[in-house]
Structure 1
Amino acid sequence: MKTLNLSIRPFEERDYAAIAEVSNAAWPDEAHTEARLREDDDHAPEIKWGRFVAELDGRVVGHAEYTQLEGMYHPQKFAAWVTVRPEFRGQGIGKALYARLMEALEPHDPISILSTAREDQAAALAWLQKLGYEERMRYWESRLDVAAFDFAPWAGRIEAVEGAGFELKSLKELETDPQHRRKLYDLWLEARLDVPRPEAMSEVSFEEYCKWVFDSRYYLPEAHFVAVEVSSGEYVALSTLWKTDGDYLATGLTGTRRAYRRKGLALALKLKGIRFAQEHGAREIRTGNESNNRPMLAINEALGFVKQPAWIDFVKVFRQG
């Protein structure tokens, strides 16, 4: 290690661009930008987090972060990640970053740490397992070639839902409803109950939800679609698309209130999203699904989404909380 002239130091404001560069080198098919990092760093007040960078001869070649997950918040549960540029791996840099993370976490007395790796990254999987992390959950990212999508096999699906007493509206169209944010939040609260997650779900306030959605630079109201029951005005299903810093759109939550399932609402909303993507020249739509979430996987498979290598959530438990 001494011959590397390696230093591990706390993150500074000036490091955003360098961290984005490292992340893009490690994951070249994803869009990592300074703007995205800055928004992600806008944490809730109670969240404990820290970040460190690895410099080799003055160049940032890796970074590591610990944080807490606002939708799965526990005061002593953390998530942590280490990222090193591919050409600098195998030299002990990741090990040094991880050691610094653990040193920083010690005063917080963590009871568990969650980390993530992709199934095609054999070295990362082996390293996490060697450190005592155990698999908790896996999920696929699936991608749809927007330009190649053929609407012909799906003709009439949107119209059938609308004929059954539902309006499929974008949030842009619903902005005239003074209660649209509260109605969306109430729908989201029910829909998120069925989302698989590696840790227990925590409460998210209306104010925090609005910050996540409506204050985000990636919010795309024209592509956040909601099924509204005409007779009651209730918001009963949603499927959302988000801007990214790349040439693809990212799927947020797709979900339906339990009393309104098996009516084709989720499929119709996803078709609305694909139509939007085609009309606006998006190359791809990306979505993520837990590996056992067959209802949502079945919809995406039927639409032509192609699975990528699975992401795996690992958790190291120090003691039961």
Structure 2
Amino acid sequence: MSTRAVVRQAVGDDAEAVSAVRRAVYPYKAMSPAATRHMITVQTPEERFLPLVAERDGAIVAWGAAGLNLWTSEPGQSHLTIYVHPDHRKQGIGSELAARLHQHLTEVGAVRAKTFVHPDGLEFARNLGYDGTRQLHFSGLELTSLPAQPPTPDGIELVAYDSVDPRVHFEADTAAGLDEPSDTPMDAVPYDQWLEEIWNSPSLDKALSVGAMAGDEMVAFTSVETDGDRMWSGFTGTIPAYRGKGLSKLVKSVALRRAKAAGITSAYTSNDDENSPMLAINNWLGYRRVQTELCLLRTVDN
């Protein structure tokens, strides 16, 4: 008989095992062990990030994490993530992680928590006080054949991230993200924190990520994260003044071609139901839906 699971705070050396559990739960997401270690160990103190793992018989079988969202002007916003290996569900592990994490959010002054769940986890989440707001669709693409690459407009130069100053990408990233479908505006992103958590993350493949430059300004981009032979589209966007010119379609098409040439065989991405322009681009590229997740919110009791 298996022993009861023990919940403890995660450390960097848990990254390999956490990454394996994550892949078992989310085969359509790509996060390497190096990126997982970075997530556990590189945080801003003000975020009050608490990473937890559950161990059973010496093996990590679940992950939980929660912290404050410092990238918005709305105070008290927070995020919570829990996932349990399929072989260890319905044994109280998720409930124990949730209790620990909600208590932590109460202690650090959170007002509202956001989480994402599979449809089969909706009842569990609702029993914890969460309610639904939006749907997020995940799609996959095998890089065997791609549609013809769109032409590059006059005045636009395509570059890899490793050839640009990070501040240039930061300006484009934050401008394009202001009107992304969300329950909380991402309108207060600190550059130093973005640099450490996003730009310096081992998951960001700067050689495969593509930006469209108009002079010295990055006007469209697609960020590529890799894990072995898989890739994840972290964020694709165009700044408002350059929308309607097909630039997001162009940079994503170029990035997929470069990824295929580099030995990547599978690509994955996600889209909010409301983001019809990006859904159309991904459909044109050949992405096909593999999973749906629900974005849920809960008031945090203080």
For the aligned pair, the TM-score class normalised by the smaller chain equals: 0.7 to 0.9
TM-score scaled to structure 2, two decimals?
0.87
Of the three residues 116, 129, 132, the one matched with 1:132 is: 129
Partners in 2 of 1:98 and 1:137 — Cα distance?
21
1:271-305 Cα shifts (integer Å, max 9, x gaps):
21122022112112222111111111111111211
Task: Give matches, 1:1-321, under 5 Å.
Answer: 5-13=3-11, 15-31=14-30, 33-41=32-40, 42-72=42-72, 76-119=76-119, 122=120, 124-151=121-148, 154=149, 157-159=150-152, 161=153, 164-172=154-162, 174-175=163-164, 180-229=165-214, 232-242=215-225, 244-318=226-300
Is residue 68–residue 78 contact of structure 1 (8 Å, CA) maintained in 2?
Answer: yes
CA apart distance, 1:110: 3.0
1:48 to partner: Cα distance: 0.9
User: Structure 1 79/73 Cα, relative in aligned 2: closer, same or farther at 3 Å?
Assistant: farther
For the aligned residues, what is the CA RMSD?
2.6
Q: Distance in 2 between matches of 1:278 and 1:57?
A: 40
Larger Rg: 1
Unpaired segments of 5 or more residues in structure 2? none
Q: Quick one: distance in 2 between partners of 1:256 and 1:29?
A: 25
User: Which amino acid is 2:124 matched to?
Assistant: W
Q: What TM-score, normalized by structure 1, do the two folds share? A: 0.82
Change (3 A) 1:111 1:206: closer
TM-superposed CA distance for 1:91, in Å, is 2.2
C-alpha separation in 1, matches of 2:198 and 2:63: 27
Contact 2:52 2:64 survives alignment (8 Å): yes
Unaligned runs of 5+ residues in structure 1 are none
How far, CA to CA, are the matches of 2:91 and 2:98 in structure 1? 13
Counterpart CA distance in 1 for 2:36 and 2:141 is 25
Identity of aligned residues (%): 26
1:81-128 C-alpha deviation (Å, 9 max, x unpaired): 222222222222222232233333332243222111123xx2x11111
SS in 2 for 1:186: helix
Aligned residues, how many? 300
List per-residue Cα deviations over 1:60-94 (Å, max 9, x = no partner): 33332222334347653322222222222222222
CA separation of 1:102 and 1:170: change in aligned 2, threshold 3 A = closer
Q: Aligned partners of 1:185, 1:216: CA distance in 2, in Å?
A: 14
Contact 2:67 2:105 in 1 (8 A): no
